């Protein structure tokens, strides 16, 4: 439509994204993935009230009795996303649109970082990475996958760095690898939203 009317391509800004129910690690990963793919800037919704509108960093922080602040689980997702600064990798969302990924070339050679999450669904999804040779890996063989879990303890629940779930070796062929993003409960504290794939040499 824009092209047919000779209209310019201008930046798009979304004002207030994510309902209160969506302000959790998995849905934040979903929104980040959507915005990155479409080159959209988004302003996170701030649902605070009663004099707290300018506190808690739009509900990403909690506050101790002494006035100091601590991060919640969703804050840790944005912190991780901030450090995904290498070249962006092309991605597509799930067929139903309820699961999405953001990916970049990894900090280590022959690796890719993937931030993934569903939007308020407990369905199970597969993540397929195609073009293994584009990061210097052979078109078939074994790849080492590291998974990190972002915990969620509620809006004011203090959460530390993502939990390292360790490494496992996955066999692949035809220049692609597929791994399953397991089911989880929306009220649980086990939202697995980060993957790091590579050939090895992890610290």
More confident residue, 201 or 13: 13
Determine what percent of the chain is predicted with pLDDT higher than 70.
Answer: 89
Q: Is the pLDDT of residue 104 over 80?
A: yes
What is the mean predicted confidence (pLDDT) over 16-21? 94
pLDDT tens digits, 146-186:
888 888 999 999 999 998 888 888 899 999 999 887 655 44
Which residues share a beta bridge with 142?
171
Other Cβ atoms closer than 10 A to 55: 13
């Amino acid at each position: 439509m824009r092209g047919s009317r000779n209209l310019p391509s201008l930046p798009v800004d979304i004002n207030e994204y994510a309902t209160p129910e969506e302000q959790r690690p998995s849905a934040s990963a979903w929104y980040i993935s959507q915005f990155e793919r479409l080159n959209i800037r988004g302003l996170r919704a701030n649902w605070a009230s009663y004099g707290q509108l300018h506190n808690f960093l739009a509900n990403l922080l909690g506050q101790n009795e002494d006035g100091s602040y601590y991060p919640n689980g969703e804050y840790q997702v944005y912190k991780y996303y901030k450090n995904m600064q290498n070249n962006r990798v092309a991605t597509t969302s799930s067929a139903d649109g309820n699961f999405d990924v953001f990916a970049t070339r990894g900090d280590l050679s022959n690796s890719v970082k993937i931030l993934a999450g569903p939007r308020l669904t407990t369905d199970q999804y597969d993540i397929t990475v195609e073009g293994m040779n584009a990061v210097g890996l052979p078109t078939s063989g074994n790849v080492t996958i590291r998974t990190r879990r972002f915990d969620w303890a509620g809006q004011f629940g203090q959460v530390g760095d993502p939990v390292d779930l360790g490494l496992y070796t996955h066999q692949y062929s035809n220049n692609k690898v597929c791994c399953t993003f397991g089911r989880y409960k929306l009220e649980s504290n086990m939202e697995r939203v980060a993957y790091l794939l590579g050939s090895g040499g992890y610290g």
